Amino acid sequence: MSRVYNFSAGPAVLPEEVLKEAQADLLDYKGCGMSVMEMSHRSSMFNDIIVEAEKDIRTLLSIPDNYKVLFLQGGAWTQFSAVPMNMMNKHHKAGYITTGQWATKAYKEASKYGEVVELASSKDKNYTYIPDCSDLPITDDMDYVYICQNNTIYGTEYWELPNTKGVDLVADVSSDFLSRPMDVTKYAVMYGGVQKNIGPAGLAISIIRDDLITDDVYPNTPTMLMWKTQADKDSLFNTPNCWGIYMCGLVFKWLLKNGGLEGIAKKNADKAKILYDYLDQSKLFKPTVTDKKSRSNMNVPFVTGDKDLDAKFVAESKAAGLENLKGHRTVGGMRASIYNAMPKAGVEKLVTFMEDFEKKNLK
């Protein structure tokens, strides 16, 4: 079988040329006689891989010198605990904006470690919009303000950062990481699992302003959840996910070669426009996010309003080589995740398929 177009919300499609390079080098990385999966993390070969990966992500995001880049295990979920354990150290208080399931999970986890204020929420409309964040009840005694920048399940994305009134901003960027330029200096911490836009599952990347890396953490924080543990050892305190770091490094090179984040942002906007333009005029399919300024360029949920028809669409699109279009159970219908590595041709094929399906099924 040839490769399908994979619209999975994550783990997700990776660039084909990156996979081919990994395949070619799998048993013998650059003539060293072993696989990257077999290399000591203390070897000079692996050191070159991790140093180069860090250099490249610094270039892509123009990360200033006073920010550390950490390659971590345990996913974004582990950071739901690590963020409050490392940061709630002055006032033991933080503000969270809940725009979906992941932000809500982070909010609940943080409440173990201090006082947590829900600053705003879009729960009233099943998280189909980003709230107005221009004048939230943020107070000086909050150690940070927290957002989930792109909401994978609901298909919303912050296009403007909240006015945090001078309080540090923490963002889970798992599902729009490296999808467009982001001004790192506007964030105290930016982190995400890599398995949506960047690489294979099992790795998270945290970009942390260095004054936040401290011993002054929540009492008895596990050593592995203290950011300082890995920051002091350049992510090599213990054995990292070496293969994941290698794969992300290849993707960073692929991004650099293809116009960097400016380049990929334009491609992502083009792909999203093709899909939203079609949805906005369709008589069969409806986008679930009608508030255009809240729409994600990464995840596009849509429904027909008829569960049987949705199921038929998912089955027939799969048969046509358009995989993983079933929506999340809390939204229903369909969802097309169109991350960095989804080619424009994949979105075009999807829209053509939808047009055809609409013709056949519109009553």
Backbone φ and ψ for 117, nearest 5 degrees, come out as -110, 130
Q: How many residues does the chain have?
A: 363
Q: Judged by CB under 8 A, does residue 195 bind its own copies?
A: yes
Q: How far apart are CA 30 and CA 25, in angstroms?
A: 7
Q: Judged by CB under 8 A, does residue 44 bind its own copies?
A: no
Contact track, its own copies, 84-123, x by CB under 8 A: -x-----------------------x--xx----------
Residue 102 is among the residues annotated as catalytic for this protein: yes
b/e per residue 123-161 (b: at least 16 CB within 10 A): eeeebbbbbebeebebeeebbbbbbbbbbbbbbbbbeeb
Nearest-approach distance from CB 356 to its own copies, in angstroms: 21
Nearest-approach distance from CB 48 to its own copies, in angstroms: 15
Does the annotation place 254 within a ligand binding site?
no
Say if CB 58 and CB 46 are below 8 A apart.
no
Does the annotation place 195 within a ligand binding site?
yes
Residue reference for tokens 């960097």? 260
Does the annotation place 152 within a ligand binding site?
yes
Q: Judged by CB under 8 A, does residue 237 bind its own copies?
A: yes
Say if CB 84 and CB 112 are below 8 A apart.
yes
Strand partners, 303: 286
Q: Judged by CB under 8 A, does residue 134 bind its own copies?
A: no
Residue 234 is among the residues annotated as catalytic for this protein: no
Pairing status of strand 189-193 against strand 169-172: parallel
Q: Judged by CB under 8 A, does residue 330 bind its own copies?
A: no
Q: Judged by CB under 8 A, does residue 346 bind its own copies?
A: no
In the 8-state DSSP scheme, what is residue 267? H
Q: How far apart are CA 125 and CA 135, in angstroms?
A: 20
> What value does the CA radius of gyration of the chain take, rounded to a whole number of Å?
21
Residue 159 is among the residues annotated as catalytic for this protein: no
Does the annotation place 102 within a ligand binding site?
yes
Q: Which residues bind its own copies (CB under 8 A)?
A: 1-4, 6, 8-14, 16, 19-20, 22-23, 26-28, 31-35, 37-41, 43, 73-78, 80-82, 85, 109, 112-113, 193, 195, 199-203, 218, 220, 222-225, 237-244, 247, 321, 323-324
**Binding-site annotation: residue ranges for L-glutamate:** 42
Supply the residues annotated as catalytic: 102, 172, 196
Annotated binding site: 42, 102, 152, 172, 195, 238-239
